Amino acid sequence: MRNGNTGVGNGIWGGHGGMCAQGHSAGSGAIGYALTWYNAGAAVATNGQGYLDKVTLDAGPVFSDIRQGCQIHADGQNDQYTFLCVSPGQTGCKGWNTAQDPPGSSLEFTTGYKTEVNQWSGNNTLQACANNYQQTTYDTQWYNMSILAPAQGGQTPSFNYPKTTMTAYLCENPAAPGITLNNVTEQGQLYYAQFTNQSQADNNLSVYAVTNCPSIEGTFGAGTDVVYNNDQASVDMVNDMKTFCTSNHVTQ
């Protein structure tokens, strides 16, 4: 609970620290929902206008557009792709170097995950999403469950919180040919592409490429990124949060 203090995060910490959140995979999805739909992102440094000073989103958000992860078209293919953090056109991108060939990287949910997200839509009688184009009858449910869902129920999604510092870590490539990445990087890309407001992009959004991920979404493992050169990405995340989890947005 926050008291009458002014400033983002001041209520819980008495003005001595920031209100911050860090989430991995589904946890990053939870933060994405909170920022986009539940006013967690701070637009101005006053009470009632968001409460998170700093967020670290690790491997995600994974639910940006569930519809694109689940669809199978009449040709039997998902056919949903995206290019990853295309620079210099996309703001906030740092360290992305891997050449990307058309049509890009697949948004399709992989085995296991497709069953879970399919059940959340209420589709419990058919097999998992992304296996039969006839299941496109669930497009509306899949889309409305997504972080990037359209305005509904009197709520409108927001992608502008210039008083909230956002840092993201996404796998750019695996450590070895035998490691197959799932679609969390692609789903995250859809989310970060929404932030075109310059006040957010210039000061408070960084989307880092993690290379050599050792597991399916192993941004926290032995991969490296460009923040602290060759340190483990997990160390980078800790240092990033320790450095920037402050309430300094009040004075910006």
Q: Each residue of 143-197: pLDDT tens digit?
A: 898 999 998 888 888 888 888 889 999 988 887 788 888 899 999 999 999 988 7
Lowest mean pLDDT among 6-15, 48-57, 114-123, 179-188: 6-15
Pairing relationship of beta strands 105-106 and 81-82 according to DSSP bridges: antiparallel
pTM equals 0.84
How much is the pLDDT for 161? 85
Contact yes or no for 151/37 (Cβ under 8 A): no
Q: Which of 95, 89, 91, 63 is nearest to 162 (CA)?
A: 91
Contact yes or no for 164/42 (Cβ under 8 A): yes
